[in-house]
Amino acid sequence: MWVDFIIVAVLLLDLMMLSSSRIRNCIQIAAVQGTLVGLMPLFVESHPGALSPVVASFFSIFLKGVVFPWLLFRALREANIRKEVEPIGGYPLSLLMGVVMFAMGFWLSKRLLYPDPFVPALGAPVSFATFFTGVFLIISRMKAITQVIGYLILENGIYLFGAVFLGGQSLLVELAILLDIFAAVFVMGITIFHINREFDHIDTQKLSELKDIITSK
């Protein structure tokens, strides 16, 4: 019951993410989603010999709920931007794409063979949907910072899948991924700052023009 509600909340946060234009809101949504996903190990039965769920949960909530938002907010302040530019297709279309991606995830999850039949039925579709949402954000959004957030959402999807299906066995792997992501967000925060300082904006569409400028000189 509670697991179902958390999973559906994760899905709704995906949809909110796809339809919100303020980057501040996007960071908050990613933080809340990271926290909810981080709670999952506590609810799912863990395998014996795995890392303690409490430790894993605490570690991931600390990183995704506190450290990442803090880093991103700092990058946001330094880059001095508030709104994402209109994405390809506009926000309503991205919201509908979210539903389509959920349907796709649902279809995909019906096709998988599960080792353990006693898993929350919504786990797989929603983790696929979260995964797709992350990829979609990276593709459709223009600003570097929103693409970083897309990356975080993608990781939330992977984490959810691991927490629901592998019940603790995978948590060690998850923590390793988390560390990678931590480094990545840290580096990207610095990169965003530098892009912004050099070019007065962080629009990645414009980065492709760099080559032309150099060759023309």
Partner 1 sequence: MPAKIAQFILVLTLSPFLFGVLNRTKAFFAGRKGSPLLQLYYDIFKLLRKGAVYSTTTTWVFIAGPVVSLSAVITASFLIPWAGHPAVIQFDGDIILFIYLLGLARFFTVLAALDTGSSFEGMGASREMQFALFAEPALFLSLASLARVTGQMSFSGIFSTGVINFWPVYGPVFFLVFGAVFIVFLAENSRIPVDDPNTHLELTMIHEVMVLDHGGVDFAYILYGAAVKFWLLGTLLAGMFLGASSRGWMMDSAVFILQMSVLAVIVGVVESTLARLRLLKVPHFLIIALALSAVAFILTMRS
CA angle centred on 127, ends 156 and 30, rounded to 5°: 30
How many residues touch partner 1 under the rule CB under 8 A: the total is: 21
Site string for partner 1, 98-137 (x = CB under 8 A): xx--xx--x--------------xx--x------------
- Residue 95 found at the interface with partner 1 (CB under 8 A): yes
Cα distance between the two ends of the chain: 64
Contact between 5 and partner 1 by CB under 8 A: the answer reads yes
Closer residue to partner 1 (CB): 126 or 192: 126
When binding is defined by CB under 8 A, the residue of 58, 62, 73, 91 that contacts partner 1 is 91
| Structure token digits, residue 46 | 């863990």
**Of 126, 137, 138, 122, residue with least CA distance to 99:** 126
Token output for 185: 């967000």
Rg (CA), the chain: 18
Q: Please, are residues 45 and 167 in contact by the beta-carbon 8 Å criterion?
A: yes
Residues 6+ positions from 135 with CB-CB distance below 8 Å:
150, 154
Per CB under 8 A, which of residues 8..67 are in contact with partner 1?
A: 8, 11-12, 15, 19
User: Residue 3 or residue 76: which is nearer to partner 1 going by CB?
Assistant: 3
Q: How far is the CB of 108 from partner 1 (least distance, A)?
A: 13
Contacting residues toward partner 1, per CB under 8 A: 1, 4-5, 7-8, 11-12, 15, 19, 91-92, 95-96, 98-99, 102-103, 106, 121-122, 125
